[in-house]
Amino acid sequence: MERARPHLGTLVSVRADGAPQPALAIEAAFSAIARVERLMSCHDPESELSQLNRAAHLRALTVDSWTWRVFGLALAFYRISKGTFDCAIGARHVADGRLPSRGGETPEIEGSSADIDLSVPNRIRYRRKLYMDLGGIAKGFAVDRAVEALRRAGAESGVINAGGDLRAFGAATEAVHVRMPCDGGLLAIGEIREAAVATSVAGEETPPDLPILDGANGRRPVARLVSLFASRCVLADALTKVVAVCGESSAPLLARCGAEALLCERDTGLWTRIGARAC
């Protein structure tokens, strides 16, 4: 059974194979995705993320365990990428008018993920006023939680497709195609089984997507498009941004994560393969 619904700014499809009650399994997967969206959307003024961006610099706030986990992952990726992956980049998007400013206040552009305090479980405090945008990691996290929900419901295999984020598990094999930003055509780049892939377009030429920026020093991305293959979707989602900026110099990080990237270079249009999947 397969169903599709609008979530996470795209159309999300869920397929469940072998579940005793496939409709209930799919409903559980969509519920997990909706929970992530409800908690971590910076476009929803009532989300936990929006509340944090308004007040976490004033006091520590208690949050859902999933929100705390994603912040922990974002901080881990910030550290291992040496600041290139930085969800505090949202402040620059607010300054450019690409993201909404809550309360009319402008966050400090100089702030970074290093200003996040996660020392108490399920409580988050900002050491300065930040505007966190989890768009570069929360979608992958949502896909992974949907897969967990399908498995708990007894699905033997299945596929979650959330636009640029895709994960297959069990015996399911899924072909992977990317839409080229230059002409809108589809390009087949392989298939996945018990794996995930995330694709990000790095340029300014594809509104309404936010441009990828280097959190460390504002470097221009070297890639036009990146597809990242990894064991989990949250890993693939975050690493696409690092590879887009760092290109071939991200190879050691990909090796550490057991991931592989295909990138289309911005200036030449040539394709480059980096890293190798452990699976």
Residue 196 sits in a domain whose CATH number is 3.10.520.10
Give me the chain's average pLDDT, please.
88
| Pair (221, 270) in one structural domain | yes
Asked, for residue 201, whether it belongs to a domain, the answer is yes
Residue 93 placed within a domain: yes
The answer to whether position 7 is within a domain reads: no
- Identify the pLDDT of residue 278: 43
Are both 264 and 209 inside the same structural domain? yes
- Report the range of poorest mean pLDDT among 113-122, 154-163, 164-173, 196-205: 196-205
Query: Pick from 103, 132, 161: which residue ends a domain?
Result: 132
Q: What confidence score (pLDDT) does residue 230 get?
A: 97
* Pair (178, 229) in one structural domain: yes
Phi and psi torsions of 239, nearest 5°:
-70, -25
Q: 266 with 180, same domain?
A: yes
Question: What CATH number is given to the structural domain containing 55?
Answer: 1.10.3980.10
Length, in residues, of the chain: 279
pLDDT value, residue 120: 97
More confident residue, 52 or 101: 52
Distance CA(22)–CA(92), nearest Å, equals: 43
User: What pLDDT, on a 0 to 100 scale, did the predictor assign at position 208?
Assistant: 45
Same domain, 103 and 191: no
pTM metric for this prediction: 0.90
Q: Which residue has 């989300």 as its token pair?
A: 47
Domain edge (last residue) among 132, 161, 195: 132
pLDDT at 274 over 80: yes
* Mean pLDDT, residues 54-67 taken together: 96
Q: What is the pLDDT of residue 207?
A: 46
Which range has the worst mean pLDDT, 20-24, 212-216, 230-234? 212-216
Q: At what angle do helices 138-152 and 22-40 cross, to 10 degrees?
A: 150
Query: Which region among 11-15, 100-104, 248-252 has the lowest average model confidence (pLDDT)?
Result: 100-104
Please check whether residues 270 and 181 belong to one and the same domain: yes
Task: Classify residue 15: in a domain, yes or no.
Answer: no
Is residue 220 pLDDT above 90, yes or no? no
On whether residue 38 sits in a domain, the answer given is no
The pLDDT of 95-119, averaged and rounded, is 73
Domain that includes residue 65, residue range = 48-132
Residue 165 falls within a domain, yes or no? no
Across residues 235-256, what is the average pLDDT?
A: 92
pLDDT surpasses 90 at 227: yes
Q: What angle do CA 132, 135, 202 make, to 5 degrees?
A: 115
- For residues 53 and 123, state if they share a domain: yes
Please count the structural domains in the chain.
2
The CA distance from 6 to 37, in Å, is 11
Whether residue 259 contacts residue 228, with contact meaning beta carbons closer than 8 Å, is answered with: yes
User: Do 127 and 178 have their domain in common?
Assistant: no
Residue 180 forms part of a structural domain? yes
Could you give the percent of the chain with pLDDT greater than 70?
83
Q: How far apart are the first and last CA of the chain?
A: 27
| Domain presence at residue 32 | no
Strand partners for 156: none
Q: Which of 132, 157, 191 is the last residue of a domain?
A: 132
Q: What is the mean pLDDT of residues 37-65?
A: 95
| Average pLDDT for 34-45 | 94
Q: Quick check: 227 and 189 in contact, CB under 8 A?
A: yes
pLDDT of res. 96: 64
Rounded percentage of the chain residues whose pLDDT exceeds 90: 65
State mean pLDDT over 46-59: 95
Half-sphere exposure of 269 (CA within 13 A, CB side): 4
Which residue type sits at 215?
Answer: G
Residues 181 and 91 reside in one and the same domain: no
> Measuring CA to CA, which residue among 122, 13, 33 is closest to residue 72?
122
Q: Which residues pair with 179 in a beta bridge?
A: 186
Please indicate, yes or no, whether residues 110 and 182 belong to a single structural domain of this protein. no
